[in-house]
């Protein structure tokens, strides 16, 4: 599993019983959402409340390669959100990223979380990349960012078998398609 963060942000969380809804509220601005082609980690940071005990740190790859929340379960693909603190917001702010997902790993883990620091002068990227086959679990995955205990961003993704998705990792090797 690779939970990736840029400048201080990885979001991931979700619902217990009700269908989750997408939303963003002050002081955050949602830039974009989607599926990312494979990226390489530049560093790692300890994150004991995650399945692997760390998160990968990546340079912002730019906007998602595919603007969709229907994610093909394929090794190497990632999905996530890019966001920023609104101008005039208190900065820096410490938040918590929470990712809720179907069970995976030896213990059947369903929640990963860790802290991040957000600022007004840096774009945040929160994503999850399928680095190991056991991480590819079909179903609802919800990314959430909490500030001061309040959820300020929530984004729902559906991970599906590749045949049911509208994009594919094979598209990552050719020119980017406009969405």
Least confident of 8-22, 41-55, 75-89, 149-163: 8-22
Residue 162 dihedral angles phi and psi, to the nearest 5°: -50, -35
Contact (Cβ atoms closer than 8 angstroms) between residue 82 and residue 106: no
43-46 vs 54-57, strand pairing mode = antiparallel
51: left (phi over 0), alpha (psi -120 to 50) or beta: alpha
Helices and strands (H, E) in the chain, number of each type? 0, 12
What is the average pLDDT across 42-62? 91
Q: Check the CA dihedral 23-17-158-12 and report its sign.
A: positive
Residue-level pLDDT at 61 = 72
Average confidence score pLDDT of the chain: 88
- Asked if residues 6 and 39 have their Cβ atoms less than 8 Å apart, the reply is no
Cβ-count burial of 137 within 10 angstroms (0-12 exposed, 13-18 middle, 19+ buried)? middle
Q: What is the pLDDT of residue 60?
A: 75
Higher local confidence (pLDDT), 88 or 14: 88
Give me the domains of the chain, ranges plus CATH numbers.
Answer: 2-173 (2.60.40.2390)
Mean pLDDT of 160-164: 97
100 contacts 14 by C-beta, under 8 angstroms: yes
Span 140-162, mean pLDDT? Answer: 97
DSSP string, 123-152: -EEEEEE--SGGG---EEEEEEEEETTEEE
What's the number of CA atoms in the CB half-sphere (13 Å) around residue 61?
28
* Tens digit of each residue's pLDDT (9 = 90 or more) over 120-147: 888 889 999 999 999 999 999 999 999 9
pLDDT grade, residue 104 (50/70/90)?
very high
């Amino acid at each position: 599993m690779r939970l990736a963060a840029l400048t201080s942000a990885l979001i991931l969380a979700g619902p217990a019983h009700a269908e989750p809804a997408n939303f963003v509220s002050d002081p955050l601005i949602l830039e974009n959402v989607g599926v990312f082609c494979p990226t390489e980690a530049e560093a790692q940071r300890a994150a004991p409340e995650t399945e692997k005990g760390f998160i990968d740190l990546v340079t912002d790859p730019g906007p998602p390669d595919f603007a969709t929340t229907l994610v093909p379960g394929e090794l190497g693909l990632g999905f996530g959100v890019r966001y920023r603190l609104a101008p005039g917001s208190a900065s820096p702010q410490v938040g918590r990223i929470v990712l809720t997902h179907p069970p995976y790993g030896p213990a059947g883990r369903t929640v990963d979380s860790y802290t991040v620091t957000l600022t007004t002068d840096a774009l945040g990227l929160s994503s999850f990349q399928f680095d190991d086959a056991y991480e590819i679990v079909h179903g609802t995955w919800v990314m959430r960012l909490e500030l001061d205990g309040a959820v300020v961003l929530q984004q729902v993704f559906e991970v599906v078998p590749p045949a049911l998705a509208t994009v594919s990792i094979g598209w990552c090797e050719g020119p980017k398609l406009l969405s």
